A and B are shown apart, each in its own frame.
Chain A
């Protein structure tokens, strides 16, 4: 069990990063030109409201004091109010987490389901036609803009074939899942190209490794050598790659949610930018950043679980 000791002390190492995240989100909103209280209140800047915001955030006091007010409010779960929706930012974000989280999960699962077989075919046919075709297709795939790919999928599956909904989210579980198929496919077609490339490289290495040679020497059929011995070892770098790409994946969901009108955090961020709802921008940026840190931590745990040799 001592291999998992890092689970206890690793969160402490996150403290500097979390501190940095709070500083950056704090600075972001203060960089807006003009009186912050007036900016935060937008068109609803009555003298009383301005006075209230000034008191709450200590806006007349020095920057450092303002930062402590910011942290104190944060500790109370208080990230300000949305101008547009007129509720607390954190409550607002909470209502938007589900579509985004489901979209990310479905996309990751779908990407792995696409990438593993594709990489396996490429690695086991290294240098041959199948490998070449996959290499070229994946080079193309990296350059697909998600917002455009999403629209093309809508044309194909919703307009021409009419088997999937165009956009929106729905209420029941089955409705929601149906609405998530195309968005997940959009994200995972891009993500799986990156994954497949790295998986293929790891598998090619694995097929040449001593593990594989030893398995072959024991008379195992090539397919067992591959699926039982090579594949598990090549998954480890892929988990790390997924974790590294999680920020990119979240960025992708921002765009994809807008294309498919999914009421998630990404769509909330984009709307907030247009309506100058800066408290919401700040809140969403912070929640996304903390989520990224958390996911990297989870990836560390998965890596240790997958590979007994890894010590963190």
Chain B
């Protein structure tokens, strides 16, 4: 997963470009956070207020992104959607990250039967197409964001666990780990204080590209009608609502989709930037 050697030394120009990628990503993500927090102040209209006199209007000065079939302002809905979709990406990554990191650390550190059972479980979960298993779990739990988060936690931890476990297998034989053992430190302390910080870089980078996938999956599940429920302004829901009007009112679907692409791009840039910073290659 990661190479023992750091990325090849870069000239000043190269280093600037890569730091630039990280900075641009953080800036873009920051802009979304501002939009999410300031939605009530920034959005010109109520995101769910219907206006029968302003149905299906194209983009104009009054409605920069146009209006939908209920006369709702798309621009305001996209801004309010930032709150939900940002939350989807963050919560959808945090739980799998924590669960996967913990399980992977334990499995890699102890090895033996613990590791063998663990790896079989990973194989089985990986055998299922990710979205299919998630949809099946959501089918059982019932539609909604809570089901989505639970399904993410149940399925998404696998990739993190595999990454950390592979690192642990190598790191636990390093001199400093052996030294920590001979100093009589507890296993918990060695695992989580000494080894994990050195193993985590790859997972942090992966978390950023995972955020893209979680965002796309969350939006896809809402698009399918199994996640966020209308009339809440969420980008996937908005695309689904615009689908019926795709031949006549393209703006209803175009703008929420562009929002997803832009937020995903921010996460990707941060991921790329961090990968270069840590010298990790996926």
Binding site for B on A (CB under 8 A): 16-17, 20-21, 23-24, 28-29, 31-32, 139-140, 142-149, 151-152, 154-155, 159, 166, 201, 246-252, 254-255, 258-259, 269-270, 272-274, 276, 278, 281-282, 284-285, 288-289, 292-293
Contacts and interface: CB of A to CB of B under 8 A. Distances in A.
Given A273-B138, A281-B136, A289 B225 contact: no
B135 A270 contact: yes
Tell me the dominant secondary structure on chain B's binding face.
helix
Contacts of A151: 239, 242-243, 246, 253, 257
Interface stretch (B44-52, B173-181, B194-202, B265-273): B265-273
A284 B133 CA distance: 10
B257 A285 contact: no
Given A139-B269, A249-B129, 11 more contacts: A17-B124, A28-B137, A142-B268, A145-B219, A148-B257, A151-B242, A246-B129, A247-B130, A270-B135, A278-B139, A289-B133
Chain B interface residue number, banded: 35 or more
Interface of B: 120-121, 123-133, 135-140, 209, 212, 215-216, 219-220, 223-226, 236, 239-240, 242-243, 246-247, 250, 253-254, 256-257, 260-265, 267-269, 272, 281
A249 B223 CA distance: 18
Contacts of A272: 139
A145 B126 contact: no
A140 B257 CA distance: 13
A147 B236 contact: yes
* Majority secondary structure of chain A interface residues (helix, strand, loop or mixed): helix
B59 to A, nearest CB: 15
Given A139-B265, A147-B223, A28 B135 contact: no
B247 A159 contact: yes
Scoring B135, B138, B246 by chain A CB atoms within 10 A of each residue's CB, the highest score goes to B135
Contacts of A148: 239, 253, 256-257, 260-261
B139 A254 contact: no
A154 B127 contact: no
21 contacts: A20-B123, A24-B124, A139-B265, A142-B209, A144-B261, A145-B236, A146-B220, A147-B223, A148-B253, A149-B257, A151-B242, A155-B246, A247-B130, A250-B132, A251-B130, A251-B132, A272-B139, A273-B135, A273-B139, A278-B140, A285-B128
Nearest to A14: B127
Contact of A270 (B123, B128, B130, B224): B224
Nearest to B215: A143
B260 A145 contact: yes
B250 A285 contact: no
Nearest to A246: B129
B132 A254 contact: yes
